[in-house]
Structure 1
Amino acid sequence: MNFTDLCDEKQFDIFYKQEVNHVFRFILVKNKNKDEAFDIVQEAFIKIWENCNKFDLLKAKSYLFSVAKNLFLNAKKHEKVVRNFENNSTNLYIETETPESALREKEFKHKLEKAIGNLTDSSREVFLLNRIEGKKYKEIAELLGISLKAVEKRMSKALLALRTQIEEFK
């Protein structure tokens, strides 16, 4: 695969046709839902297109698979966040829920999901690994192949961004 310019629509179309089935099978093995797998693959190609001039063309295929894998992991982590939040919030407020509090809770959930979705990929990944999966900073650093300081910095950025975006619900 030798592309002179992946930002060229024709070159990108060739790349897409050559790789779409490979990356789809790769994601389908991880996510048994065909529709979700297809969505992830399409989003991965969109990210490749949007960043076509930001990576080495010789590594386009590798980058595509990395993007697809990260999108899959982020989707699963997000589902887990939502499930955990729904389970925890439902159990806490069963007896005292009023229409106003139910509406406020729904608004908060929406705001939280949106805030998590607005985090950078790197900050969201560290946040979800720590807060949802319960991993220690050292484990996250080893898992992602980054320094402990980088994990701390990403977590700090994530928490600051989340606090800022959902501050009105305090």
Structure 2
Amino acid sequence: MKKDNLKSVCEQKNFEEIFNKHSNSLRNYIYYKCGNTQQAEDIVQESYIKLWDNCNKIIFEKSKSFLYTVANNRFLNEVAHKKVVLQHQKTNVNRDKTNLTPEFILEEKEFYIKLKKAIADLPEKQREVFLLSRIDKKKYIEISEIVGVSVKAIEKRMSKALFTLKDKIGKV
């Protein structure tokens, strides 16, 4: 066996190593799924707590996978509540606008709505790959490790996402 196979997640230095290595990318991954920084940070914190609680059961090399799985499952548990909150926010859009440049305001609002809707309408898998690549500047191989699929699958998801976005907002 390799020496690394003997590392225990329960040792503080190893746990800190896992935290320092994965916490930022895990937070960004969850942020891209939920769109709320505080919620993403809470989910990441809960994931690390669960890792600590189960440290005797987790192999050091599998800790990253465990964290992403726990965080994703926690996010999925909060999706129903998040949808209700977002729907409520949509209905309470501030409709009080100035009349300084009504055409510009209208065009800007329409474009913003079109862009936001186009990204939101992407299937979840395409949206997360698109945001991880374009916003977080992750390489396809890193995204494939995070998401747990092949690089080819990531390339296909990105291609489909770009095609869909171009089709929906490229005609501006």
> Into which bin does the TM-score normalised by the smaller protein fall?
0.3 to 0.5
Normalising by structure 2, report the TM-score: 0.43
